[in-house]
Structure 1
Amino acid sequence: MFRVQAAAVFHFGRMGFSMQKNLFTKYFTICAGMILASITVLGALLMGFASQYFRSDKLKVLDRYVSQATALTLTDYQKNNYLYIDETTLNSVYSVLADAIEATIFLSDTEGKILICTDTELFASGKDTVPESILKQAASGSYRETGRLGGAYQSRNYTVARPIGLPNGQITGFVFVSASANSLSIFLGQLLNMFLLSSLTMVVIAFIVIYFVTARMVKPLRDMLAATQSFSRGDYTVRVQVNSSDEIGQLANEFNYMAEALARNEAMNRSFVANVSHELKTPMTTIGGFVDGILDGTIPKEKHHQYLAIVSGEVKRLSRMVRSMLDLAKIEAGEMKLNPAEFDLNSTVCQVIFSFEQAIEAKNLDIIGLDVDKIMVSADPDLMHQVVYNLIENAVKFVNEGGYIEVKYHSDGARTLVAIRNSGSGIAPQDLPNVFERFYKTDRSRSQDKTGVGLGLYIVRTVIQLHGSEIHVSSKEGEYTEFAFSIPSAGTKSSQNLFRKNG
């Protein structure tokens, strides 16, 4: 059965490896893609905000200068009694203002005809008038445009305009200030170059960091896959190194726990196969030999009864082994159920003790603790008989010659504590945590336990757990071993819950 499980683990490992070989690339690609996408979005937002800010700032500057030019024009017009303007003076003033902001300043009358312009080539092509639609907008108080000013420019320009109003409200002309929008393209180009250079540097650094971080994260998974391949070959010594306490570290820890459990299970399975093989071979050989001897006359008739008694004992030994195997199958299938009832547990203990009368007399043992009143409990009588039988059998096997077996009871009202102690060599401390495991035997030399297969205590623990409790073992080498468990006392709330749970 375990070989099938190991094969399944290996199959999973191969499937996982086929997926895992691309995990690093996928994770790296996803992280890199997210970084590139973030940089792209950030760059687009930055260029958009920068363009908007640059345009707004440029128009504010033009607004300020067109206001100054308008005020100076109106002052000159007023100085000349609103009859004419001094073209030479205004042209000089416009040039100074235009040079300060690298712009073009020009003056038009109410018909749109250009009167003064700092850029003599701007209207040289014959387009020396401003479209009427623009004049109407400017007459409303202000005008802003990012365009070609009705075809006057070959490229896009920022243009603002102000009307020149007389004290009586009459408009006598318009002042325009215009600057090339190419400066925005130059500014955005320089900004983009700086952004790309800094982004490229950060991307390279980020990719290097992601590469090594991803490789470090994936390494435990690759180690686990390599370990599963070792498991499939029967090598359970491989462990995954744990370097963190995050989810990957926890997974590695659990993987190591699983590996240890598999190693123990494999060792116990091998021990079980060896034990069962020995236990089956010995009685079958004995039974076959004695039956053949009786049939062929080798064993005389007067000794038939003696040897048939031996055969009967070996058959009973096989029966116990088969029963333990069936109980194990029920436990693993989850089919072991309780049929609780109220009964005298001390009576059950006495019956079991009497069934070992010959072994007890042979070892000259003292039995302590049976002279008590009835110990009424609520449990499954048959399963509790099996628990007591296995524990007493265990005690009889390992008690020393002339030693003792002691049974103790203690009730706190709700539950009854039962402890079975035997004198003897005890159990080594390193063996105590494993005594309830399947197929585990502390007496590996088989000098004392010649009939067991290592299932009795595992079945005992399972039955006690079905009754809602636990069994504990304590031992002192060279002195004693004690098994203690508790079960519901009769007529208590705990027993009623047990009846309802299994009713």
Structure 2
Amino acid sequence: MKLVHQINLAFGVALVLVLSVTGIVIHYVLLDQLIGAQKDDLKAMSAEMTASMQQGYTPMNSTMSEDAAFAVPITSPSLSVNAILTDNSGSILTVSPWAAYSIEPAQPASIAEMAEVESSSVQSIQDGSTKDYITVDNLIPQGKLTLYTPLSKIQTIEQALLKRLLIIFGAAGLIMFLFSLFITKKLIKPLILLRDELGKIKERRFADVNFIKAGGEIGSVAKSVYDMASELNRFNHVQKQFFQNASHELKTPLMSISGYAEGIRNGVFEGESVRKGLDIIMNESARLKKLVTEMTLLAKLDSEEDVFKTEKVCLQDLLTETVERMNPLLVKKGITLHTMYEDLQPVTLQADRDKLLQALLNVVSNAVRYAKHHIYIHADICDKHVVIRVSDDGPGIPEDLLPYLFHRFVKGKDGESGLGLAISRAIVERCGGMIQAGNESGGGAVISLDFSAVLRA
């Protein structure tokens, strides 16, 4: 069953249950209210009747009792209110219909008339043993006056009112159900559209995925799906670009190796040219080996968990070893490296020491490649985070290259494989850190690494 039908069915069942329970509750509450109102009316009638009888009505001749020297007033039977008069001993003196008072003498009811009262005895009505009547008793000097009215009259009124209420409830319920269909359709529509967009993702048509506008949690899911499709599209593009760049980077040294090897074999190169050809083959082989090693490491960092082994690493020792490793290259290029972390209190990082060292070497060697005369390594602590900044006085990073600087095979003018900074980013992120690149206001590139740090006492 479709979700829209499930929601509508659930709402319809819930609506029927609510209306049914409400109808039952209203039935009993309304009946109770009407009975209470009728009792109040009977009490008022009884009090008024008692006062009138005490002031002195014209007595009537009753055949029911010789002591009964008074009569019960007679009125129109349209109000369905009747009276029973008993003496102090409980004997019934008379039974009379009553609704409005009359000063005219009234004839007492006959035995036959008494027998016709709703097929129940007058005594059972007065005693309250029957539940078919509403009764009110009032003591008078001559005995007890009991007024009663059939419960069926109240039930008829209550049923008439309840029918009207049920008609109103039914109409309101129908309107609510139709409104729920509209609301459900409006809520389900984004889900249906979202399902179609997910189908595009399944078919790997990431670029065709559209953003579905919706509110609440559905809107959040729609945004997540759209962002996921965008990221998958970017990843798919990067993968294709990666294979293209990788094939190009691998093909260049292979062509050199193959060309010189074939030339040496066929005797094209002789004497010193053979030696130069062999040197080129060795250099290109080393370059090819380095490229394959970096590609393998990058793949492992992305896919393998056990390749990364974390431990406590002293930041100062790590930076010092980085500088020592880079000294030969610095001396060769005549570049001065300035360090600004000696006064920093001891800091410990949670990372894979060897791989983090490689990440720093990649960043510093990139700075050496573009620096003119100076490189600066600065470390600072801010809110339990340590920030390492490596900057140079070179030309800086081109603005169009900044968003893609850490992507694979993305390299500047004098870059090598284009994998060094991509490897650095993978290592830094696996250490729980973040790496960013930018340009100094006065010129030169700056790469910052941000890590959570533990200060040592």
Bin for the TM-score computed over the shorter chain: 0.7 to 0.9
Alpha-carbon distance change, 51 to 234 in structure 1, aligned in 2, over 3 angstroms? same
Structure 1 distance, partners of 2:130, 2:358, is 99
Structure 1 distance, partners of 2:86, 2:387, is 114
SS in 2 for 1:95: coil
Q: CA deviation at 1:289?
A: 4.1
Q: Which residue type is aligned with residue 12 of structure 2?
A: A
Contact 2:389 2:446 in 1 (8 A): no
| Residue 53 (structure 1) aligns with | 33
Structure 1 distance, partners of 2:212, 2:145, is 80
Runs (5+) with no aligned partner, structure 2: 99-107
Q: CA deviation at 1:302?
A: 5.0
Q: CA deviation at 1:207?
A: 2.0
For residues 32-431 of structure 1, the aligned pairs below 5 Å read 32-70=12-50, 72=52, 84-85=67-68, 90=71, 93-95=73-75, 101-107=79-85, 115-118=94-97, 124=112, 127=115, 135=123, 143-144=127-128, 147=131, 156-162=132-138, 165-166=141-142, 171=143, 175-237=145-207, 238-244=209-215, 246-295=216-265, 297=267, 299-300=269-270, 302-332=272-302, 333-335=304-306, 336-338=308-310, 340=313, 343=317, 345=319, 348-349=322-323, 351-352=325-326, 354-355=328-329, 367-369=335-337, 382-395=354-367, 399=370, 404=372, 406-411=374-379, 417-421=388-392, 423-424=394-395, 426-428=397-399, 431=401
SS in 2 for 1:369: strand
Q: Which residue type is aligned with residue 297 of structure 2?
A: D
Give the percent of matched residue pairs that are identical in Structure 1 and Structure 2.
Answer: 19
SS in 2 for 1:239: coil
Alpha-carbon distance change, 64 to 292 in structure 1, aligned in 2, over 3 angstroms? same
| Residue 475 (structure 1) aligns with | 439
Q: Deviations over 1:428-453 (max 9, x none)?
A: 1x5434423x426265xxx654x425
Q: Which residue type is aligned with residue 104 of structure 1?
A: N
| Residue 103 (structure 2) aligns with | none
Alpha-carbon distance change, 234 to 115 in structure 1, aligned in 2, over 3 angstroms? closer
- The count of corresponding residues between Structure 1 and Structure 2 is 432
Structure 2 distance, partners of 1:247, 1:211, is 20
| Alignment RMSD (CA, Å) | 4.4
Structure 1 distance, partners of 2:36, 2:411, is 89
Q: CA deviation at 1:48?
A: 0.7
Q: CA deviation at 1:367?
A: 2.0
Q: CA deviation at 1:422?
A: 5.3
Q: Deviations over 1:80-113 (max 9, x none)?
A: 9x965467xx36x2226x55x3323344666756
Contact 1:108 1:175 in 2 (8 A): yes
When structure 1 is superposed on structure 2, of 110-119 and 262-271 the one drifting more is: 110-119
Provide TM-score, normalisation by structure 1. 0.70
Q: Deviations over 1:355-375 (max 9, x none)?
A: 5888x5xxxxx6233699989
When structure 1 is superposed on structure 2, of 349-358 and 213-222 the one drifting more is: 349-358
Structure 2 distance, partners of 1:60, 1:203, is 35
Provide TM-score, normalisation by structure 2. 0.76
Contact 1:331 1:462 in 2 (8 A): yes
Q: Deviations over 1:450-492 (max 9, x none)?
A: x425x4223213434566654331127995322234689xxxx
Contact 1:422 1:482 in 2 (8 A): no
Structure 2 distance, partners of 1:125, 1:373, is 117
Contact 2:310 2:353 in 1 (8 A): no
SS in 1 for 2:335: strand
Structure 1 distance, partners of 2:434, 2:425, is 7
Structure 2 distance, partners of 1:137, 1:186, is 20
Q: Which residue type is aligned with residue 95 of structure 1?
A: T
